[in-house]
Amino acid sequence: MECGLEDSVVDWVLEHPAALMVFEQFGIDATCAGKSLEYVCRQAGIDPAVVLAELRRVVGAV
């Protein structure tokens, strides 16, 4: 499964366990009640594109 900004943080972790360390790096709660990655990033004041790029880098390296 190719995860994106519209997928929840939980989906990212379930599909790609290595994503958890990226969320920890950015201070994103991985138990965000199913909210989309984009929503969670914007609520935290983090650029979603930066997080997505890091996630894809880490997931691609696995």
- At 24 the pLDDT is 96
pLDDT higher for 38 or 30? 38
- At 1 the pLDDT is 59
- At 2 the pLDDT is 78
Residue with tokens 């009640």: 33
Ramachandran angles phi, psi of 36, nearest 5°? -65, 155
**DSSP secondary-structure letter at 36?**
B
Record the pTM.
0.89
- With a CB cutoff of 8 Å and minimum separation 6, the contacts of 25 are 54
- At 62 the pLDDT is 54
User: Residue 31: which pLDDT band, with cuts at 50, 70 and 90?
Assistant: confident
pLDDT average, residue stretch 18-37: 92
